[in-house]
Each structure stands twice: as C-alpha cells, then as structure tokens.
Structure 1
Amino acid sequence: MSKRTEIQTILEDFKPRVGQELTVMGWVRAFRSNRFIALNDGTSMGTLQVVVDFEQIPEDVLKQISFHACIKATGKLVESQGAGQDVELLADTVEILGAANPEEYPMQPKAQSLEFLREKAHFRMRTNTFSAVFRIRHGIAYAVHKYYNDNGYFYMHTPIITGSDAEGAGEMFRVTNLDISNPPRTEEGEVDFKEDFFEKPTNLTVSGQLQAEIGALALGKVYTFGPTFRAENSNTSRHLAEFWMIEPEVAFYDIF
C-alpha cells in the first residue's frame, strides 16, 4: 500500500516525481467527460488533475465520483499535454472514501451566496472563498505570535468566562445555568446567583486587559490574543458580537 502524497507537495515540486506511482486523497472539485477529475486535498488552493480510464474503473465507482465526493486515487504521475496544469495523475485505481449524493448534498459546483453558506457552516470551508479566508487568518495569527515572541513577550491565555467587565469595555453576554424563565430568587426578590454554577454573576469577556496587567507586573512583557465579545446590537460590517483582539501590556514602559 503506497503512502499518500499531499497535492501541494506534487504541485510545488513535481519534476522529481514524474514517472512515479503516487497515491493521492481528496475531494472532487469537478469531474469532466467521465474522465478528468479536479482533486483538492486542502493542502493548497490548487487542484491536481486525475485522469481515469472509464473502461478500467468499475462503473459503480465512476457513478459515485461527484462534486465533493472524497476519493483515493493511485497511478503514475506524468507531464500533462493539456493546458492549465503541468502534471496529471493517470489513475490505475480509484476508491470512494466518502460519497456525496448530488441529489442530497447541499453544495453545488457554482457560485453560492454568503447568506447560503452561513447556513451550511459544516461545508463552507470547502469553497474557495472560505478556504482563502481561513488561510489568511492562519497567516495573520502566526505573524502575531511570531512578532510578540521575537520581541520577548509572553503569551497569556485569559479567561473567556469572567466576573469582570474590564473597566466597562462594553455590554456583556451573561453566562448562567439558571432557568431564565423561573430563576431562584432571594428574599428581596433579586435573582439568587448563589444557586448559579459560579455562585455569582458571570459573563463572556470583553477584554483580557486586567489579567494581562497582572501578568506584566510579574513577567515584564505579555500579550493576549483571543476571542472577546460585545452584546451590543449592530448590523454594521464594523461591529461584531465576537472577534479576536490583541492586547499587549508592558511593565516599566516608556516612549523613548
């Protein structure tokens, strides 16, 4: 059984592999003329063309090669004579790892609106749009951590659930396991948070600032980078209920 080769590895350095038998696995982006498969395995935005011989591959297998079906293909890597790709895989065998019935599968090989993809969150990263967004987010997050690490900062994980409002940084989302339709009450008629999970009012964090300040007074230079929340209703593109925020704190700091 041959070891899987990532498609990114093939596309970036294909010359030493031409003529070799390779195994690739991925999701079908397109299947043309019952012969040409555009295969993507997530390691890059690009696809590898897999060429199948419809006389050699069983008909029941060919029928299952549909949009976003997951397959395994083994064959020889050759230089491509067609336009649009340098190499292609001449498949000797194709195995269906996960079928995607086109009658039931919600995604289609066409442009999908962001509103539609919002309701299909478990599939949306298979689209080029969301694939690109999450690759960019990965690159930005890596750059953030590398910058602060290279400049002597320590990364702090601050609480997401907190009893602090961080100097009133914004409206907060309440966290509770009380029955909100019938909460326990004190003799004064107030909600009895002693019966709650944390035995006091708690919320989703709006900032890790206060914990970072404590960290800076022990470690010198720290930063937080994580999710924060605002319970302020707004339908603008510049206001989110959840976002990631960077907060550095430094002891003995000056501007010189």
Structure 2
Amino acid sequence: MDSLIVEHGTDRTIVRLERPRTLNSIDQTMVDELHTVCAQLELEPRVLIVTGTRTERGGIFASGADISQLRDRRRHDALRGINSSIFARIAALPMPVIAAIDGYALGGGAELAYAADFRIATTRVKIGNPEPNLGIIAAAGGCWRLVELVGEPVAKEILLAGRVLSADEALAIRLVSEVCEPDELLDRANALADRISGFDPLAVQVTKQVIHAPRAAHPVIDNLAQALLFESPEKAQRMDDFIQKRDARKGR
C-alpha cells in the first residue's frame, strides 16, 4: 500500500498511517486503502489498532484531510461522503477499533479517532476540529460523534470556537481513555487488544452491535442477542471453565 503500513496478526490488525511528508493528511489513496483493510476485517474480524507515524518534529496521527484535494472538491464530491463513508465503515467493524494517537489529530484526523471505540493518547496529543477556519464543517462525523462522546457544551467549544484539546484535557472529559508517553503508545494499545482478545470474539461482536443499536430496539435486540449466545458452544465451555476454577478455589 502507498499510504498505510498494515500488519495482520491472528487476533488483531495494526494499521499505521504513513504519509509523513504531508503530516498524514487523509487523501483519496488513503481512503481507498482503508476501505481495503475494512473489507478484510469484515470477512475475518479482528481488533483494529490505527496509529500514526513519527516525523522529525515528533509524532503525528493525522493532520486532517488533504487540503490540496479538498480545495478542488465540489458539491457532488461532498454528497459522495468520501471521508464520512470510510469513517462510518471503520466504526461499524465487527470487532473493536483502537485509535493510538500521538501528536496532532486535527480535522479529519480527529474524526477518524472519534470513529474508534477506544482512544489512547500520548502526552503530546493535540486534538480538535478547525474546519470552519477553512470555510467547511466537520462533515465526516465530527458534528455528531463528538457531541455523543463529550456532550454538546464541550463539542461546541471545539467545533464552533476552535478549541484544541491537550492530552490531559481530552482525558478529563474521557474523550481518550488513557494517556501515556510516546514510547509506550503501541504497548498500551496492544495491552488493551490483549484484554479484548481474551473474551469470546462472538460475544464481543454482538455486544458492540447491541451498544450501537437504536434506543427503540431495546430490550428486544438484547434478548435476541443473548438467545444467540446462549446456544454458543463457547459460552458453555467458558462457563464450565469458570465453575471448575471456582470449585477448585473452594476446595483449597
């Protein structure tokens, strides 16, 4: 691939955004390659870790959409939802998505992070949406995902007044789940992936779908999902193992 470095493991896929000369700006090639990765993960579900690269000026997650391409886009391009469609596809992947963020995550880069299920940041992270300064909006999910994640008052500070959050500020409002030093970033992301991979993959996939189901679908969808899992051999095996370990502890 031209703009991504992709590593497939047995239980996870790590994608590194790799356009350092443009500070990992998201262009059409990167979007197309992310679609390719998503197609693989839809067929063979794994945890996805998305991270950035390091430059001479430090780490960079993604500086936003590629302005040289964005400048020439017109109404029909906006209606195609070039970036919003790939971020929606990432958010809908069967297994959880972890954004491991270092340095700047601005504009489309921030929206990519918002599409993840978990966000881990380094101490030098700066995250925000300066789109109105360029005469556009955060149309790839920022205007609604950010409200869902942090609430309307803070979202308005970011979207309408250009507030850029530091790592500690993002942690305080739980936009990110943890903050670490840059050298620890992938270790933290992999540790989280390890925890998730220790669970029954089917139960994780079903849980993610139920979480994102419309409010009106509950509790019917919860009961149907649980009915599916109650018939799973993995459920029976895991519960048998739990009972055996519990009884063994009691025996001591």
TM-score of the superposed pair, with normalisation by structure 1: 0.23
TM-score of the superposed pair, with normalisation by structure 2: 0.23
Question: Rg larger in 1 or in 2?
Answer: 1
- When you count strand as a share of all residues, which structure comes out higher? 1
- When you count helix as a share of all residues, which structure comes out higher? 2
